[in-house]
């Protein structure tokens, strides 16, 4: 009975090793890590937002892709602020 347990434990171990090796090879060939360091004092707003997001990776990817496609919320806010400035300038002209 002990031989059976030892033999099956070794098979499970080798399967886990094969999985880990395969995953490691995939990661090495097809993925890269990108990380950022955030300060708990000066970046508290960012950390609070990230803590509220269930899928951080998806959220960050969506923001970057929106920026790539010129649909960034930051860009939109800059455009809106520019339009507000134009409106204020036109109101001052009293046309």
86 CB-near residues (< 8 Å, 6+ apart): none
Looking up tokens 């455009």, which residue turns up?
A: 79
What does the mean pLDDT of the chain come to? 81
Instruction: State the total domains in the chain.
Output: 2
Given a cut of 60, whether residue 6 has pLDDT beyond it is no
The range of the structural domain enclosing residue 95 comes to 41-95
Question: Within its chain, how far is the Cα of 71 from the centroid?
Answer: 17
Distance CA(65)–CA(60), nearest Å, equals 9
Looking up tokens 């886990």, which residue turns up?
A: 16
Answer yes or no: do 25 and 68 share one domain.
Answer: no
Residue pLDDT, tens place only, 60-91: 998 888 878 876 666 677 777 878 888 888 88
pLDDT at 1: 59
Answer yes or no: do 54 and 80 share one domain.
Answer: yes
């Amino acid at each position: 009975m002990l031989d059976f347990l030892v033999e099956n434990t070794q098979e499970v171990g080798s399967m886990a090793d094969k999985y880990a090796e395969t995953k490691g090879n995939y990661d090495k060939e097809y993925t890269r890590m990108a990380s950022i360091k955030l300060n708990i004092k000066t970046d508290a707003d960012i950390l609070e937002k990230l803590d509220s997001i269930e899928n951080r990776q998806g959220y960050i990817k969506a923001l970057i892709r929106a920026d790539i496609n010129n649909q960034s919320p930051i860009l939109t806010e800059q455009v809106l602020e520019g339009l507000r400035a134009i409106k204020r300038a036109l109101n001052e002209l009293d046309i």
